Chain A
Amino acid sequence: MNAITPPGEAKRQRIFRERAELLAREPEQHGAEEELLDVVEFLLSGEQYAIESVYVTAVHSLKDLTQLPCTPPFVLGVMNMRGKILSVVDLRVFFELPRRALSDLNMLIVLQNDTMTFAIPADGIVGTRGIPRASLLATLPTLTGIRGEYLLGITPQRLVVLDGCKLLGDSRMVVHEEV
C-alpha cells in the first residue's frame, strides 16, 4: 500500500542524484572526424533493425489497414495517413524471414525518396541514433540472396542496418499486375 504514498525524502534524493549524474556524464566521443550515420532503430520479428533517417519521413501507428486483392504476398495492403494513400510492404515476406506466431506489427515506418513512397510495418520503434559509418561491418557471408542485397551493414551491437536507397529503388516493389 505504501506504493501509492508519495515517495519518501530519501528516495526523492536518490532520484535527483541519479538525474544529476546522468546530466553530468560526458557525451560519447565519436570523434569529430568520424562521420555519423543517423538511423531509425526498430524491432521486427524479435530482431533489431535500423534504416537511414534520410529515407524516413515519419513513423506512425498502424491503423485502418485495407487489404488489396490481386497483389503479391509481400503487399499487406494500403492505408490512409493524413490524407495520403500509402502501400504497406511486409519486409518479413520480402526478406523471407520466418513468421513468428505472435507479432505486434503495430507501427509503421514511412520511406520516401524522389521516386517512390511506401511504408513498412514494425513491431516497435526504438528511436533515432547516430552510428559511426566506420564501425559498420560488411554483410555476413551467411546472409545470402535477397537479404544480402538490401543490407548496408551490421554494427558490433548486432544492429542490422538496411539500405534504404536500394529498397526504394527496387523494381520489384513496383507492382504491375493485371488479372
Chain B
Amino acid sequence: MKWTVGTKIGGGYGLAIIILTIIGVATYLSTSSYIKNAELVVHTHEVLATQDNLLSTLVNAVSSERGYLLTGEETYLDTHAQAIKTIDLEMKHLRTLTADNKAQQLRLDRLDPMIAEKITEMQETINQRRSRGIEPALQMLRVQIGKKVLDDIFKVKLEIENTENGLLQQRNNELKSSTRITMMSIILGIPLTIILLSAVSFLITRNIVQPLRDITVSAEHIAAGELDIPTHSCHRTDEIGILGQAFTRVVVSLSTMAESAQQIAAGNLSAVVNPQSERDVIRTSLAKMIVSLNSSARIARQIADGNLTVMVIPQSEKDVMGNALALMVKNLRELTGNIIEGINVLAVSSSEIIASTTQVASGASQTSAAVGETTTSVEEVKQTAMVANQKARNVSESAQKTVKIAQGGKNAVDDSIAGMNRIQGQVESIAESIERLSEQGQAIGRLMETVNDLAEQSNLLAVNAAIEAAKAGDHGKGFAVVAQEVKSLSLQSKEATSQVRAILNDVRKATNAAVLATEQGSKAVEEGVRQSKEAGEAIRLMNASIDESAQAAIQIAVSSQQQVIGMDQVALAMGSIRQASEQNVTGMRQVEITVQGLLGLGQKMKDLVAQFKV
C-alpha cells in the first residue's frame, strides 16, 4: 500500500474510463462495418436490377423487330430504335457499377460484341424485309443465327447474375456476424464493468473510511478529556497515516501538560514549564500560574510568621486568591485586636468571679443548715401520714362489712318479690275456681228449669187424671184422691224449685262478691309486687353507693400508703440535698483555685498576642 489516497481514487476513476472507451470503440467498429456491408448489399441489388433491365430491353428490341417482320408497320421500327438506344445506356451504367469487380468487367467485355452482333443481325433482317419482302426475311430467321447469339447473351447474363447472388450471400453473412459482435460486446461488457467498478469502489471505501472513523472516536475521547487512548495508523505513509501520527503527537503534548498541571495541583511550584513558542497559550498560562502561586505562597508565609503589616494587592477583581489573601490579612488584623480586647475583659471577669465565688461559698453553708432543719420537719410529717393511713384502713374495712349487709337486704327483697309472685299466681287460680263455680251454678239453674217444667207437666197430668176420675163417677173417687196427691206433690216440687232458685241467686251474688274480692286481692298483690320491686331498686342503689364508698375508702387507704412512701422519699432526698450542699461548699473552694489559674492564663495570652505586629 504505497499509493496515496488521491492515487487510489484516481486509479479507480481511470479504470472506469478505460473500460468505457474499450466498449465504445468496439461498438463503433462493428457498427461502421455493419453500415458498409449494408451499402454493399444495396449496390449488389442495383447491379442485379440493371442487368435484368438490359436483357428485358434487348427482348423488347427483338419483339419489336418481329412485329415489323410480320406486319411491315413502321411504328415497330420506332420502338426498336428506342430499345437499341436504351441498351447502350444500360450497358454503360452496368460497366460503371461493376467497375471494382474485374471478373464482371471481363464478362461484360464478352457480352459487348455479342450484343453488337445481335443488333447488326436484326438490322440486316429489317433491311431484307424492307427491300425484298417478308419471305427472304423469314429465311434469314430460319437460319437461326440470331437465336444462337441471343442464347449466348443469356448464358453470359446468367453467369453475371450468379456471381452477384454469391456476393449478396457473402455480404449478408458479414452483416449478421457484425451485428452479433455488437450485441455481445454490449451484453457482456456492461455487467462486467459494473462488477469490476463495484469491487474497486468497495476496496477504496474500506481502506479510507475505517481509519477515519477510528480517528473520529479518538478525537471524541480527547474532547471528553480522556488521554489514555491507543495510537494507530503509524505504519501507513499516506494522508491517513500522517493524520494518525499528528493525533499521537497531540495526545503526547496534552499528557505532558496534564502532568505539569497535576504537579501544580499537588503544590509543587518548582515544576518547569517551557513554552515552545509565543503562540503556545496553554504552557504560557501554566508558567504565569506558577509565578502567581509563588507570590501568594510568599505572602502566606509572612502571615504565618506573624507579620500582619504585609500588603496584598490583587491583580484584578476576579483574582480570587489575591482577594482572599487580602481579606484574610484584614480579618486576622481585626481578630487579633478583638483577642487583645477579650483577654483584657477576661482578666477583669476573673477578678469578679473570685469575689462571686466567695459569696456563693458562704451561701452554700447557709443552705446546708436550712436543709438540716427541713429534714426534721419531713420526719414529723411522715409520722402524721402513717396515723392517717391506719385510720383510712379501718374505714375501708367497715365499708366492706356494710357492703355485705346491703347484699343480704337485697336478697331478702328478692325473696319477698318471689313470694309476692307466688301469691299472685294463687289468687289467679282462686279467681278461676270461682268462675268455674259460677258456671256450675248457672248449669244448676238450667237444671232447675227442667225440674220446674216437669212439675208443671205433673200438675197437668194430675188435672187430667182428676178429669178422668170425675168422668168415672163414684168408681173414680179413689183415683181422684190419688190425682189430688199427685197434684199436691207437683205443687210441692214447684215450690222446692223456686226455693232452689232463690238459693242459687244467693249463691250467684256471693260468687260475684268473691270475684270482686279476688280482683281486689289480685290488685293488692300487684301493688305489693311493685312496692317490693321499688324497695329492691332502692336497696340496689344503696348497695351501689355503699360499694362506691368502699372503693373510695380503699383508694384513700392506698393513697395514704403512697403518701407515707413519698414522705420517706422526701426525707431521703433532703439527706441527698444536704450532702450536695456540703459538696457545693468544697466545689466553690475548688472554683476559687481554678479562677486563680484563669487569671494566670489571661496574663500568658496577653504575652502571646503581643508577638503579632498589627
Contacts and interface: CB of A to CB of B under 8 A. Distances in A.
B514 to A, nearest CB: 12
Interface stretch (B314-322, B421-429, B466-474): B466-474
Contacts of A133: none
A128 B502 contact: no
Contacts of B466: 127-128
Contacts of A168: none
Given A40-B467, A54-B471, A59-B467, A1 B499 contact: no
A53 B463 contact: no
Interface in A44-62: 53-54, 56-61
B499 A3 contact: yes
Interface in B457-497: 457, 459-460, 462-464, 466-467, 469-471, 480, 487
Contact of A53 (B459, B462, B470): B470
B463 A127 contact: yes
Contact of B502 (A3, A61, A125): A3
Interface residues of B, number: 20
Given A53-B470, A127-B487, A128-B470, A3 B506 contact: yes
Interface in B440-471: 456-457, 459-460, 462-464, 466-467, 469-471
A3 B463 contact: no
B467 A3 contact: no
Given A3-B503, A127-B487, A59 B470 contact: no
Contact of B467 (A1, A58, A61, A107): A58
B93 to A, nearest CB: 178
In terms of DSSP, what is the predominant structure of the interface of chain A? Answer: strand
Contacts of B510: 1
A3 B467 CA distance: 37
Contact of A125 (B463, B480, B499, B506): B463
A59 B506 contact: no
Contacts of A3: 499, 502-503, 506
Interface string A35-78: 00010100000000000011011111100000000000000000
A73 to B, nearest CB: 28
A55 to B, nearest CB: 10
Interface in B345-373: none
Nearest to A39: B470
Nearest to B461: A59
Contacts of A125: 459-460, 463
Given A38-B470, A53-B470, A1 B460 contact: no
In terms of DSSP, what is the predominant structure of the interface of chain B? Answer: helix
A105 B250 CA distance: 165
Contacts of A54: 470-471
A176 B202 CA distance: 164
Given A40-B467, A53-B467, A61 B487 contact: no
B20 to A, nearest CB: 160
Interface in A1-59: 1, 3-4, 38, 40, 53-54, 56-59
A138 B507 CA distance: 54
A99 B456 CA distance: 25
Contact of B464 (A1, A38, A59): A59
Contact of B460 (A57, A59, A128): A59
A131 to B, nearest CB: 12
Interface residues of A, number: 17
A1 B457 CA distance: 30
Nearest to B466: A128
Contacts of A60: 460
A1 B469 CA distance: 43
A128 B460 CA distance: 11
Contacts of B463: 40, 59, 125, 127-128
B472 to A, nearest CB: 11
Nearest to A42: B463
A40 B487 CA distance: 14
Contacts of B467: 40, 53, 56-59, 128
Interface string A121-151: 0000101100000000000000000000000
B364 to A, nearest CB: 112
Among A1, A38, A53, A128, chain B packs the most CB atoms within 10 A around the CB of A128
A146 B456 CA distance: 33
Among A3, A40, A54, chain B packs the most CB atoms within 10 A around the CB of A3
A45 to B, nearest CB: 20
Among B470, B471, B503, chain A packs the most CB atoms within 10 A around the CB of B470
A58 B466 CA distance: 10
Interface in A92-132: 107, 125, 127-128
A60 B463 CA distance: 10
Interface in B66-116: none
A54 B476 CA distance: 14
Given A58-B464, A125-B463, A127-B487, A4 B470 contact: no
A56 B506 CA distance: 43
A79 B49 CA distance: 178
Contacts of A107: 460
A94 to B, nearest CB: 22
Contacts of B457: 61
Contacts of B456: 61
A57 B470 CA distance: 11
B38 to A, nearest CB: 164
A53 B471 contact: yes
A127 B462 CA distance: 8
Contacts of A59: 460, 463-464, 467
Contacts of B507: 1, 4
A59 B457 CA distance: 11
A4 B464 contact: no
Given A53-B471, A56-B467, A1 B487 contact: no
B81 to A, nearest CB: 185
B266 to A, nearest CB: 144
Contacts of B480: 128
B495 to A, nearest CB: 12
Nearest to A40: B467
25 contacts: A1-B506, A1-B510, A3-B506, A4-B503, A4-B507, A38-B470, A40-B463, A40-B467, A53-B467, A53-B470, A53-B471, A54-B471, A56-B467, A58-B464, A60-B460, A61-B456, A61-B457, A61-B460, A125-B460, A125-B463, A127-B463, A127-B466, A127-B487, A128-B466, A128-B470
Interface of B: 456-457, 459-460, 462-464, 466-467, 469-471, 480, 487, 499, 502-503, 506-507, 510
Given A40-B463, A59-B463, A128-B467, 15 more contacts: A1-B507, A3-B503, A4-B507, A53-B467, A53-B470, A53-B471, A56-B467, A57-B467, A58-B464, A59-B460, A59-B467, A61-B457, A61-B460, A127-B466, A128-B463
- Give the 10 A-B CB pairs with smallest separation, nearest first: A128-B466, A38-B470, A3-B503, A53-B470, A4-B503, A59-B463, A125-B463, A53-B467, A56-B467, A58-B464
Interface of A: 1, 3-4, 38, 40, 53-54, 56-61, 107, 125, 127-128
